[in-house]
Amino acid sequence: MESFEDLDVYRLADNLGDQVWDIASSWPHFPQNSLGYQLVKSVDSIAANIAEGFGGFHFAENKQFARISRDSLYEARHWLRRAYRRSLLKEAEIKNLQKLLDELAPRLNAYIRSIGREEIRMTNDQ
């Protein structure tokens, strides 16, 4: 891989961030500046941490940033539930976003595991 942009897990997270932005940016001022801010921040953090970890110099650093991405994914689940309970998301929107999160979570876990395998392979090749 030449770039984090080549990673399927990054592209999926980036797409999720764009979808959440499109929805939250249409909310009224107060929910947008409170819950919307937290939701967008947590969702954008998923892709951002994948990118930041990819640029690191050590496997452990990359893995740590990928774990932070996973933490942000679970934070995003919380904010999505909160937005739905406060009638900011339509049922179709929450189902679509939850589906994307459900698809992203195992891919992110697989990416984290792959970083560990790459570390072992590189160590054995030395």
Q: For 47-81, what is each residue's pLDDT tens digit?
A: 999 999 998 778 999 999 999 999 999 999 999 99
Residue 55 pLDDT:
86
95: domain range? 4-125
Long-range contact pairs involving 8-15 (C-beta distance under 8 Å, separation at least 24): 8/107, 9/50, 9/104, 9/107, 9/108, 9/110, 9/111, 10/47, 10/50, 10/51, 10/54, 12/100, 12/103, 12/104, 12/107, 13/43, 13/46, 13/47, 13/50, 13/69, 13/104, 13/108, 14/47, 15/100
pTM attached to this predicted model? 0.90
pLDDT of residue 123: 61
- Per-residue pLDDT of 10-38, as tens digits, reads 999 999 999 999 999 999 999 999 999 99
Q: Which domain CATH number covers 53? A: 1.20.1440.60
What is the number of structural domains in the chain? 1
